[in-house]
Structure 1
Amino acid sequence: MDWDAYAHTYPQLDDETTVPPLLRRVLDDSAGRLIDVGCGEGALLDRLRETYGEAWSLTGFEVSTVRAEKARGSGHTVLVSGDGVVPVEDGSFDVTTACHVIEHAPDDEVFARELVRVTRPGGLVYVETPVKLPGAWYFRRNPQAGWVLDPTHVREYRSAAAVDEVLTRGGLAVVAEDLTPITYPLAAAGLLVRRVLRLPVSTARPRGLAARAVPIPRYRQQAVLARRPEAAPG
């Protein structure tokens, strides 16, 4: 997959305005080092900086140079490696986040292990991913996964338990989780129409009706907070 070409074609639209509730449980009354693996154009990093200021030292990681440069343009530190291996030492971060990334990974268990590797023993990992309930359908297609929310999804999990199983096999202990509706930004529909009609694409932040989002039937977002176990006694 040419992630830079994809980034040029599909600029990210973030319709979230707050830090996810499960993640806030970890961050509100503490401080330390956090890395957002698959940070995209820096939307979550923006919200974390606005909410916590300098309490948390923030780092992003990307496989796409295009997205990394956009995040850096907002003042974030972003590491890049096309092979998906985060170029840091083991146990470098107190908290690791990966929002809507694991469904793109060629091997989800290998990806989970990488999240474990960069997190210190006893540290926390926060993951978000789509869950496709029975009867769900979306108009995009991936040869491996069928009809999906995004053509680069190589899998969409069919239950919350399936997500937990992958993280557990990767070496994490699930602490908390929630399942909420997935919404579709109306601005994304506008972008799709403009691409089909070959019209210029605006980079302005959506406003009014275009800033709203509607639920996607039978799709949910699984948010999981998990812990890397403490190192075994020597």
Structure 2
Amino acid sequence: MDWDTYAQTYRQLDDESTVPPLLRRVLDGSSGTLIDVGCGEGALLDRLRAGYGDAWTLTGYEVSGVRAEMARSHGHTVHTSPDGVVPVEDGSFDVATASHVIEHVPDDGVFARELLRITRPGGFVYVETPVKLPGAWYFRRNPQAGWVLDSTHVREYRSAAAVNEVLAGAGLTVVAEDLTPISYPLAAAGLLVRRVLRLPQSTKRPSGLAARSVSIPRYRQQAVLTQRPEPPVA
């Protein structure tokens, strides 16, 4: 996958306006360092900066240089590398987040271990990913995963337990989880039509009817808050 070409073709649509509740449990009333792995154009970093100001030092990571530059244009520090290895020392961050990234990576176990590696002992890892319940269908297709929400999804988990199993297998302890409906931004349909008709893509934030979303039947979003265990006391 050429992620720079993908980033130029498919702009990210962020229809969220708040920080996820499970993540707020860690961030509220505290301070430290946080990295958003697969930060895209910086949407979550924008919301974190707006909600927490200088309390949390924010960093992003991207495999796409195009999206990294978009996030940097918002004033964020963003690391890049093409191989999915975050170029930081072990245990560099108090919190690591990965929102809708693990379903794209070649090996989800390797990715989960990388999230653990860059988080300090006792630190937290927050992950979001789609869950495809029985009977769910979407019109895009990936050769590995079949009919999926996004053609770059190489997997879509069939249960919340399957997501937790991958994270636990990497050595993370599940602290809390939340399963909620997934919505499709109406603005995404507008972008699809513009691509088909080869019209210029708008960079403006959707408003009015275009800013609304509709739920996708039988799809859910699994949000998981996990913790890297402290080393045993000698």
TM-score norm. by structure 2 comes to 0.99
Give the corresponding residue for 2:85: 85
Deviations 1:154-208 (A, max 9, x none): 0000000000000000110000000000000000000001111111111111110
Deviations 1:59-91 (A, max 9, x none): 000000000000000000000011000000000
Give the corresponding residue for 1:29: 29
Provide the secondary structure at the position in 1 that maps to 2:165: helix
Instruction: Work out the CA distance in 2 between the residues paired with 1:15 and 1:221.
Output: 14
**Aligned partner letter, 2:120:** R
Give the corresponding residue for 1:99: 99
2:169 is the alignment partner of 1:169: yes
4+ runs deviating over 6 angstroms: none
Q: How many pairs are equivalent?
A: 234
Provide the secondary structure at the position in 2 that maps to 1:12: coil
**Aligned partner letter, 1:229:** P
Alignment map for 1:65-144 (pairs within 5 Å): 65-144=65-144
Instruction: Work out the CA distance in 2 between the residues paired with 1:146 and 1:171.
Output: 29
**Aligned partner letter, 1:142:** N
Give the corresponding residue for 2:228: 228
Deviations 1:11-47 (A, max 9, x none): 1000000000000000011100000000000000000
Compute the RMSD of aligned alpha carbons: 0.6
Instruction: Work out the CA distance in 2 between the residues paired with 1:207 and 1:57.
Output: 30
Instruction: Work out the CA distance in 1 between the residues paired with 2:39 and 2:167.
Output: 19
Alignment map for 1:50-69 (pairs within 5 Å): 50-69=50-69
Provide the secondary structure at the position in 2 that maps to 1:89: coil
Give the corresponding residue for 2:10: 10
Deviations 1:98-124 (A, max 9, x none): 000000010000000000000000100
Structure 2: runs of 5 or more not aligned: none
Q: By how many angstroms is 1:232 displaced?
A: 2.9
Q: By how many angstroms is 1:233 displaced?
A: 3.2
**Aligned partner letter, 1:77:** T
**Aligned partner letter, 1:34:** L
Give the corresponding residue for 1:195: 195
**Aligned partner letter, 1:72:** R
Give the corresponding residue for 1:205: 205
**Aligned partner letter, 2:104:** H
Instruction: Work out the CA distance in 1 between the residues paired with 2:58 and 2:182.
Output: 26
TM-score norm. by structure 1 comes to 0.99
**Aligned partner letter, 1:222:** Q
Structure 1: runs of 5 or more not aligned: none
Alignment map for 1:214-225 (pairs within 5 Å): 214-225=214-225
Instruction: Work out the CA distance in 1 between the residues paired with 2:88 and 2:167.
Output: 21
Provide the secondary structure at the position in 1 that maps to 2:8: helix
